[in-house]
Chains A and B, each alone.
Chain A
Amino acid sequence: MASVIDMNAFENLKQMAGADFIGELINTFLDDAPQLMKQLHSSLNSNDAESFRRAAHSLKSNAASFGANHLSALAKELEMLGRENKLNEVGDRLKALEEAYQVAALELIGMAS
């Protein structure tokens, strides 16, 4: 199976955080991301575009830090919809994001140890 993690970006992160700290950083991301996705669902239900945009922004930023580029791109699309107040156009994108997260998370867990 091809990697979904951009190794250049990941090495970059590792260099900055220090090899011994990368595991803790991955765990923090894996703790936070489900919360952010929960926030995406609830703000979509309550049609709160601002809250939706914020959660998508954080996911986008964190995914990019770990080199999860596909996940980051999907989050960026959601962020744009939130910014333009077009939550009615979210459709299947949130589901696609969750699937991308699961793939990336699995790979990151492997890299944390």
Chain B
Amino acid sequence: MNSTHEPGHILVVDDNKVNRLLLTHGLEQQGHTVETAENGRQALEKLHAGNFDLVLLDIEMPEMNGYQTLEACMQDTSLRDMPIIMTSSLDELDSVIKCVEMGAEDYLVKPLNPTLLRARITASLEKKRLRDQQRKLFRTFATDQVADQLLNEGFSLGGKYVDASVMFADIRSFTTLSETREPTEIIELLNNYFALMFDAIIGHGGTVNQIEGDGLMAVFGTPIRHDDHCEQAVRAALEMLELLDGFNQEQAALNKPQIRNGIGIASGRMISGYTGTQQHATFTCVGDTVNLAARIEDHTKIALRPILIDRNTCAQLSEEIGIEALGPVLFKGKSIPVEIFAVNPV
């Protein structure tokens, strides 16, 4: 009984010694490594201590039965994604159905059928591997906080009103720059630039939800709520400038092009949510506040100040941050002038 699939680390939980021996030996023959527990309490201890891929869980056990163990696993964020296969006798099928409804991956009826055992274990391990892979991929593209929130609360399309800060940042005169340089150099430059900007944004609790060309859009205060999102957004902007200064010094030393950017921030109510389809969705924010932030960022070219913010953002800032009122500006397409403030770089 050699398995052609990748082996897993499996925890067998059963109070019955014959069953434990049988499963351990059978699974080891299929190439898996196996540990055992005699009841739910022991199982939870082992699960917290070890790195398992799968649990085979008996229902009828003393001290802590399979049902209670499953419930404890489902309530524990570190164990919730562990695939659990219930093992039970045919006359416990009612309880098994309840367990599957509660989140058990699958079930096996005792006496165990070797073919079924093998098939269910292979399928569960395969699903676990895919989930782990997905999670890893997901972490590459989303910040840890967003990833955790999505993994815990699940993903659904649709939005809600939130109070948050939006930031737009663009590189100044990038088009001119890109026309005079080699494509590989331009992409490398952009990648280095974005790496620094992402660092500053994520470091201040923000989420980058759009990159387009040389521009980016980031939000603070959603999808993860932060009450101090205005301060966080502005501090992120200040750090972005600081990092960019350091980057430019390195570029100058290497006789490579330097870049400048403009950052606009606006705060207030907006609609935040996941848009797209179930297969391809992005987190985004829409509304007047978002439009305003984009206009303010555009205005940095005229005001010749690297960071501009709106009144809502300004009102929430601590005194440590140096602000200068630039007066009202009438943006294209708006009927009422908007007050704009410049943030002084440190």
Interface size on A, residues (CB 8 A): 22
Q: Is B280 an interface residue (CB 8 A)?
A: no
CB atoms of A18 and B25 under 8 A apart: yes
Residue among A21, A28, A65 making CB contact with B111, cutoff 8 Å: A65
Which bracket fits the contact residues of B? 20 to 34
Residue among B16, B25, B26, B113 making CB contact with A62, cutoff 8 Å: B16
Residue among B15, B26, B62, B113 making CB contact with A18, cutoff 8 Å: B26
CB atoms of B18 and A16 under 8 A apart: no
Taking CB atoms and an 8 Å cut-off, the chain B residues in 28-44 that contact chain A are: 29
9 smallest A-B Cβ distances: which pairs?
A16-B114, A65-B111, A16-B26, A62-B18, A15-B114, A64-B111, A21-B25, A58-B16, A29-B18
CB atoms of A60 and B111 under 8 A apart: no
Taking CB atoms and an 8 Å cut-off, the chain A residues in 1-54 that contact chain B are: 9, 12-13, 15-18, 21, 24-25, 28-29, 32, 54
Given contacts A24-B21, A57-B60, contact A17 B110 (CB under 8 A): no
Residues of A with C-beta under 8 A to B112: 16, 65
Q: A-side interface residues toward B, CB under 8 Å?
A: 9, 12-13, 15-18, 21, 24-25, 28-29, 32, 54, 57-58, 60-62, 64-65, 76
CB atoms of B22 and A61 under 8 A apart: no
Q: Is B117 an interface residue (CB 8 A)?
A: yes
Given contacts A12-B113, A28-B21, A65-B111, contact A60 B26 (CB under 8 A): no
A28 to B21, CA, bound (A): 9
A71 to B99, CA, bound (A): 29
